[in-house]
Structure 1
């Protein structure tokens, strides 16, 4: 099966186990891909991180793991822009994809005009409630619908960027102040969310909850939790960001331009 959308898999050099696993998985799904060397939180210098992402922001202080992960994604975006493709699919190496993923990569014609980011992943376990616009298309012939995101749903395990989307994201280097998934898919803290106009696939085509892997960033990812007045200050700051989009979201609800929707992961569609 031909593939119009190239796939970039982010992988640490020391995690050959994950590389082998994802290689087998993508082969079984009929997907061609290329590996992108990840930034290793155990070895990276603060200077390399600072060129991309600040040590802290609206979510509080950021650990080396979250920052290195964000740097890794910028490497993948650069690799994509070195190709002639109009869109690229970016995967973390612990992702598990739906059975019909190859059908979504045959053509990029299904991606709505003006869309610069498509979120394929359902983050976390169970069902999540997200404010979504009405369906504006489907993912090829898969039957999975596309909705404009009107509220946040984070997770950077599987997403598509257009060339312009990748350029916008890379243009934020040095000024990024949240992890990559918040940069792309959190309307309350991202300076580029509105420019990306992200859509989400429903039911989702990817999950990171399929495998029992120990996180590579868990021990590096979180900065020390503040205490006392610093903790209270962080909570207030986060709360202000949380309500910053409330007026827009309420208007969308009242005018029926969006509704709260239960989103979920589904490996196969009925009839497939």
Structure 2
């Protein structure tokens, strides 16, 4: 069921969005060459406790996961595209890391992701990250009252394909509210003018993700991490966005 929220309810979502944005900023600032993925998860757990928030991931067990996730943040490294399960891995110079983080505060959920290079960056990695960020910005800009949901999808897809990347449609954005994953599904490509009529009160996570030289994925032996089929690197950018009478409001903005 697709939910629409009142202005007061959207206002109540702001603390969760603000915390998620601030937490990702904090983690990005602290992660360095030599940081272990389990240290990132421990630090995220600490931030959650300090904020009085609740993780959306620990007990999360959808059909595509082999078991409950068991950690509080997704840490996808290099060819890891989505749902990276934190494990005993120490980050090396040049690793491409994506952090995906979702919590609930006072019953309201926010979800966001950021990708960056640890240490010395390769130009092709920066270009990949920039494409996801540009696609995210285009998708947010297309979220307008009276439009259609696939206007958002088409805007994302145009940027991704225009940059020379393939688009995987198995996973995309989604509704957000009292739960982390709800309706509608927001594909990362589509035809404008189609899909749900966009009305104020809709809250969705918009999340373009790309792999450098493929659009095919497989599930790692850990039962969670989705990796590029050919081993090429991946990047992921995401914000939780509310549609208001005045247009899109990014709830997880990172100052």
Does TM-score exceed 0.5, indicating one fold?
no
Greater helix fraction, Structure 1 or Structure 2: 1
Greater strand fraction, Structure 1 or Structure 2: 2
TM normalised by structure 1 equals 0.26
TM normalised by structure 2 equals 0.27
Higher Rg of the two aligned structures: 1
